[in-house]
A and B are shown apart, each in its own frame.
Chain A
Amino acid sequence: MSELLDPYAEVAGRDVVNHLYQLAAPLKGMKVVHVNSTREGGGVAEILRKLVPMMDALGLDVKWEVLEGSPDFYQCTKGFHNAVQGFPTELSESMLEAYETVNAENAERLRPVLEEADFVFIHDPQPAPFLNFCPNRRGKWVWRCHIDCSRPYRPVWKYLKKWVQDYDASIFSLAQFAQLLPHPQYLIAPSIDPLSEKNIDLPEEEIRGVFDQFGLKPDLPLILQVSRFDRFKDPLGVIEAYKQARKMVPLQLVLAGGGATDDPEGEKVLEEVRKAAEDNEDVHVLLLPPDAHRTINALQRASDIVLQKSIKEGFGLTVTEAMWKGKPVIGGDTGGIRLQVVDHFTGFRVRSPEGAALRIRYLLHRMDRSEEMGARARRLVLENFLLTRHLREYLALMIGVLHGLEERIDMVQ
């Protein structure tokens, strides 16, 4: 047992951790590289921050590399992000050129590490062309798509497809995100780390402390959405839902988010949100630094209801986090939120600000139901969406990729 993995046995169960050791045994010593586009901000970086050392603790030789981009590059990849999520986006030749140049330069820098690896996991579209710049690769390359690409904008997807089709396999969060590609497409939902600063239990005084820290009213019900200031998260729809619910019940809203270094559009959206929140003293727009994990944890625990009213959502780790804290979630009826928010059981799925307002009123009126839903929500996360399950599926996938398309891989000697 290791110091890193042992504490997970306390949360997820000793059997769960033993299982990971079993599964990792045939992969021991293998060189694994993960590549993404940022170390801070966003769900991918958060997952890798723990997944990488845990794989390492299981005896694999793991590295996490980060692509270094230019403003043009991030403008282009933000365009990819929007387009993959279905938003028609035109990308100029010069933007695509920046994309390809940055990839070529970074691949060159990382080539020795990448080419000698047994497994390379490339996360999202940003570093997707790496494979083409590593002709002497010897390992298996897997493209991990964290975005909702159920209905991508076709012209942009066709461009991206040429970079990802030669991978040995790809991973999508849900079956509906999988695309027609000439290799196996695995389905792995993301996860949260129950022992991270964002999810560990907090003392009551620290939770109550956010009321003073942000000028919130302790006696007023608190609803919260935590997300980047991104159109797909629909922060304006949340404010609209708040305004409608507020006509019937007194409450306060916190919209808390940070910027990711790979999201140049965030500031514009933040400006629109601030404008919409003007003249509402009980709407608090908080721009938090990327390392404000404990503050977000406390805000989620202090809330009565958590919203994630996304219009498109790859998975929605903020939903998972809130559910882990026993909060019912009102979520947009889209993407990975559907896998987590079981309508009427762990929260409500809505398709409009009106729907969100209705459910806010219901949950504030029926606190007994709210508590029941919260308890179920926590159980759902415990059994399905913790990092240990995520790691288990990565290990199973690695064994699977090594054995081709065999349905049953018998490792029994």
Chain B
Amino acid sequence: MAEQADDKSPLTQPFNIRDCALVSMATGYKAQNLREFKEGLLRVHEGSIYHHFWGRFLEPQFDEPEYSNDFAAWIYHRLNEKALAEKLSVIDPTDYEDIESVRQELVERTEDRLYENEFVPWTRADEQFHFVRSQIVVLDTGRYLEIPSDLQVAVPEMTIGSIFYHFIDARKRTEDGSDDFSAWLTGWGDTYNDLRLKLMAVDPFFSSLKELRFMVTEVLEEYFSGGNS
């Protein structure tokens, strides 16, 4: 690893390790039933949609989540609407053009359920869904990686903020919705295609950031200790 970036060809720029911290904020929107939930989805700041899919990773959470986003978990645990929870859980934001399209998908699936159901499912007043958004602070660690094999040493030492930034948050920044590591490897043409595919196959939805760091480290170790460099 180098402290300073050298001039490289545009495709193989050094990888700048960044870090981030996130702090959650209330939006004032909340829902006690499925109709209010749909209204909340329509009105809330788009940062809240992002937060309930991704930002939650940097929030206190139990490390064995059943569902891939907060919406689905509430729909199941508080409204007891298992089928809708499953339908919302399979939404992968990276499949959509932008967060507004994700919002539309959530609204449509919820509306479908409201249309099918004769009753509007409710929960208790103290079990409402609270739409939350977040502010993210992005920091430069001043550290750079020169070549892909540097990842093997760097990733296990990264903070969970760095893992969040490069492996989760990247999905809304990169063109193809991939993580930053995979995006960086494309700069080496086809050389690291295998590694890229393995990294892209790591499912980030059901793990804590610590576990995710471990999983990415395993992929890198397996790849580089297998004679690749």
Contact string, A380-391, partner B, CB cutoff 8 A, digits 1/0? 100111000100
Interface SS of A by simple majority: mixed
Q: How long is the Cα–Cα vector from A389 to B60 in the complex, in angstroms?
A: 9
**Minimum C-beta distance from A229 to chain B (A):** 25
Most A CB contacts (10 A, CB to CB) among B24, B61, B160 go to B24
Q: How long is the Cα–Cα vector from A369 to B28 in the complex, in angstroms?
A: 39
User: Chain A residues with Cβ under 8 A from B159's Cβ?
Assistant: 15-16, 18-19, 22
A400, CB-defined interface residue at 8 Å: yes
Q: How long is the Cα–Cα vector from A385 to B135 in the complex, in angstroms?
A: 20
**Minimum C-beta distance from A188 to chain B (A):** 7
Checking A16, A22, A178, A346 against B141 with a beta-carbon cut-off of 8 angstroms, the contacting residue is A22
Contact B132–A396 (Cβ < 8 Å)? no
Q: How long is the Cα–Cα vector from A393 to B130 in the complex, in angstroms?
A: 20
Checking B26, B30, B139 against A187 with a beta-carbon cut-off of 8 angstroms, the contacting residue is B26
Contact B25–A176 (Cβ < 8 Å)? no
Contact B132–A409 (Cβ < 8 Å)? no
User: Chain A residues with Cβ under 8 A from B160's Cβ?
Assistant: 15-16, 19
A74, CB-defined interface residue at 8 Å: no
Interface footprint category on A: 35 or more
Contact A345–B64 (Cβ < 8 Å)? yes
Contact B26–A175 (Cβ < 8 Å)? yes
User: Chain A residues with Cβ under 8 A from B157's Cβ?
Assistant: 15
Chain B 10-43 interface residues, beta-carbon cutoff 8 Å to A: 18-19, 21-26, 28, 30
Checking B64, B135, B161, B208 against A409 with a beta-carbon cut-off of 8 angstroms, the contacting residue is B135
Q: How long is the Cα–Cα vector from A33 to B24 in the complex, in angstroms?
A: 22
Contact string, A395-413, partner B, CB cutoff 8 A, digits 1/0? 1110110010111111111
A4, CB-defined interface residue at 8 Å: no
Contact A399–B47 (Cβ < 8 Å)? no
Contact B130–A176 (Cβ < 8 Å)? yes
A191 nearest in chain B by CB position: B60
Q: How long is the Cα–Cα vector from A15 to B209 in the complex, in angstroms?
A: 13
B51 nearest in chain A by CB position: A407
**Minimum C-beta distance from B76 to chain A (A):** 14
Chain A 147-185 interface residues, beta-carbon cutoff 8 Å to B: 150-151, 172, 175-176, 178, 180, 184-185
Q: How long is the Cα–Cα vector from A406 to B161 in the complex, in angstroms?
A: 19
A246, CB-defined interface residue at 8 Å: no
Contact A411–B140 (Cβ < 8 Å)? yes
User: Chain A residues with Cβ under 8 A from B22's Cβ?
Assistant: 396
User: Chain B residues with Cβ under 8 A from A346's Cβ?
Assistant: 62
- B-binding residues in A (CB < 8 A): 15-16, 18-19, 22-23, 25, 150-151, 172, 175-176, 178, 180, 184-189, 334, 339, 342, 345-346, 379-380, 383-385, 389, 392-393, 395-397, 399-400, 403, 405-413
12 contacts between A and B (CB under 8 A): A16-B159, A16-B160, A18-B159, A22-B139, A22-B141, A187-B26, A339-B60, A384-B61, A389-B60, A400-B137, A411-B140, A413-B140
Q: Which 9 residue pairs across A and B have the least CB separation, nearest first?
A: A175-B130, A178-B26, A384-B60, A396-B21, A187-B24, A19-B159, A412-B140, A396-B23, A400-B135
